[in-house]
Amino acid sequence: KEKVRKAGDLYRDPGYLRVLNELRKIDPSWSLVLAPSGEAADENYTQELVGFYYRASHVKPIVNEHCDKFKKKSHGTSYACYPKLTKSWYGESIRQVFSRRPFLGSFQAGSFDFSILTSHIVFNTPVDEGGMERVLKPSFGISDYKELGTGANKANFARLAEMKVILGMMNKIREESKEKDIIFLGDTNLESS
In this model, does residue 192 exceed pLDDT 80?
A: no
Q: What is the structure's pLDDT at 74? A: 67
The DSSP string of 9-50 is HH----HHHHHHHHHHHH-TTEEEEE-SS-B-SSTTSPPBP-
Average pLDDT of 35-55?
Answer: 86
DSSP-derived letter for residue 132 is H
Residue 135: per-residue pLDDT: 93
> Containing H/E element for 104?
strand 103-109
Distance separating alpha carbons of residues 129 and 136, to the nearest angstrom: 13
Assess whether pLDDT exceeds 90 at residue 47.
no
Average pLDDT of the residues in 30-55: 88
